Chains A and B, each alone.
Chain A
Amino acid sequence: MLNNIMVGKYYPIKSKIHYMHPLSKIICTLLFISMLFICNTIELSLFLCALTLLMMFMSHIPVKIYLKAVKTLRFLLIFIIIINYFSHATLEVTVIMMLRLVLIVLYTTILTLTTPPNEITYGLELFLSPLKLIGVKVSKIALSISLALKFIPTVIDQGNKILKSQASRGIDYDNSNFAGKFIAIKAMLFPMFALTLKRANQLADVMEVRLYNISEKRTNFRINKWGFFDVYLTLIHLALIVVIIMKEVVA
């Protein structure tokens, strides 16, 4: 049951996108999201859609994985249609809104599917590092995000185990009505919370003993190197956003 939450988890295969440096991927993602919000015409939105599809293709990840991510949006999309119908918005505006939602999810899913969590946080840390100059504790934030991401699969795994265990005691999620499901989740959350806390404490001890120091520099053993493709893709995104800005501003 909980496996449905695993949307966007790192998908370990080889592709040009997988080999990119995390910083360039983050920059491209942010540029893309900005472009999405700047553009107001359907042609440009469809163009960005084509760009997304191209990158999805280059990531070599099966389409149905991406579809799973979009599936979770279906209610929201219907909601948008309904709202826009009642506020008499044009078809074009509605389509652009829906496209924006779908494309944001798809593009960020490309990021999370092709970049392991520690690389994402490394990239984020690099990206936010200018903020260190104004006193923002970038390293601490990056560490918190990194640990949270790292633990998602284990916590979910633990949750699954507890659900199964509770099922043997008669607290069955899968075979209950709505009220039963609610109680079953409650019976899962408490032990899961307690276990996660215990794990967090033990892990903190382990990291301390293994000489982790948040404020010190360390060798980052395996981050993808910045390569030609990184430059290429980042420049393309930059060029695109400049073009889009000019089009929108001029129009």
Chain B
Amino acid sequence: MDDIVIIKDLNFKYDNKLIFSRFDLEIKRGSFTTIVGPNGSGKSTLIKIILGLIRVNSYINIDQSLLCNDNLKTIRRKIGVVFENPDNQFVAETVMDDIAFSLENMKYNKVEIRKRIEKFTRYLGIYHLLEREPYSLSGGEKQLVALASALVIEPKILILDEALTMVDREVKEKTYKILQELHKTDNLTIINITHDLEDSLYGEEIVVIDRGQVILKGPKELVLEEEKVFNNIGIDLPFMASLSIKLKYYGLVDKIILDMDEMVDLLWK
């Protein structure tokens, strides 16, 4: 499995503030990575850099192409993004036109556009919203539309930039289930940026960023053991991780268990 995103030695300053200094990051193809860090750690800036919205001079390799001015288009065709604020992502008056937007720009024909819109809106359960105006939808519905717009281009990488922080838990869980499915069946690489560590339970790997540095990286079961690190940067551990650590201390379990079912079965055999 190769790396689909490679960032080497990124240095970036903004407004005389050092945001990234000698920053390295690799994301494996087909992985589901959660990038977590407190507000102000540089997470959103990182995404802008990967998307080429902020140009830097460092080595950034996406899907075996070096990021530079000439191939921005090619690289962006492979990346679908959902941003944080549902209200600031709509480019059209109806849901259908919004989802069609990227495909129109890529010059797909009308038949193909219609086909894809139907496929993805049915998959996300928003087919009935096609003629609605985006700003009249609920927050959760808006983000599902934004997700459809991102998935409809059949990207290799899906980036969620704090996309589910404003959405209620039901929509969140439904969306994460869909993402996990896509991740399995289509080998979609998913990068989920968030400041809420509970969301990392839906992914596989965690990368922890603070003040422009990667301070922890690895599979979630291992990263979530590092209670002290998270306390230092002021991020609360997910409930199951916190419980596991405390139970481990008292000898009732011997490792981090993130699934509640599993934990209950283990404690009361």
Contact = CB atoms under 8 A, between A and B. Distances in A.
Contact of B77 (A12, A199, A211): A211
A188 to B, nearest CB: 17
Contacts of B83: 202, 205-206
Nearest to A217: B107
Interface string B57-101: 000000000000000010011010101010111011110110011
B53 interface: yes
Nearest to A210: B102
Nearest to B100: A221
B231 to A, nearest CB: 33
A219 interface: yes
Nearest to B113: A221
Contact of B105 (A10, A218, A222): A218
Given A203-B91, A210-B101, A220-B104, A154 B81 contact: no
Contacts of A116: 93-94
A209 interface: yes
A116 B48 CA distance: 32
A74 to B, nearest CB: 30
Interface residues of B, number: 36
Given A118-B97, A210-B149, A205 B104 contact: no
Contact of B110 (A12, A209, A221): A221
A23 B31 CA distance: 49
B135 interface: yes
Contacts of B85: 202
B51 interface: yes
Contacts of B252: none
A251 B190 CA distance: 75
A208 B53 CA distance: 8
A219 B81 contact: no
A227 interface: no
B239 interface: no
Contact of B93 (A117, A206, A216, A220): A117
A191 interface: no
Nearest to B77: A211
Nearest to B106: A211
Nearest to A200: B88
A229 B248 CA distance: 76
Contacts of B108: 219
Nearest to A10: B93
Nearest to A149: B93
Interface in A161-217: 198-199, 202-203, 205-213, 216-217
A130 interface: no
Max chain A C-beta neighbours (<10 A), residue from B83, B85, B91, B149: B91
B105 to A, nearest CB: 4
Given A221-B113, A222-B100, A213 B93 contact: no
A150 interface: yes
B65 to A, nearest CB: 16
Given A206-B83, A210-B102, A199 B88 contact: yes
A45 to B, nearest CB: 35
11 contacts: A116-B94, A199-B88, A203-B88, A206-B81, A206-B91, A209-B51, A210-B105, A219-B103, A221-B100, A221-B113, A222-B100
Interface of B: 48, 51, 53, 73, 76-77, 79, 81, 83, 85, 87-89, 91-94, 96-97, 100-110, 113-114, 131, 133, 135, 149
Given A203-B89, A211-B105, A212-B91, 19 more contacts: A116-B93, A116-B94, A118-B92, A150-B92, A153-B135, A198-B88, A199-B88, A202-B83, A202-B85, A202-B88, A203-B88, A209-B79, A209-B81, A211-B73, A211-B102, A211-B106, A216-B105, A218-B107, A220-B104
Interface of A: 10, 12, 116-118, 150, 153-154, 157, 198-199, 202-203, 205-213, 216-222
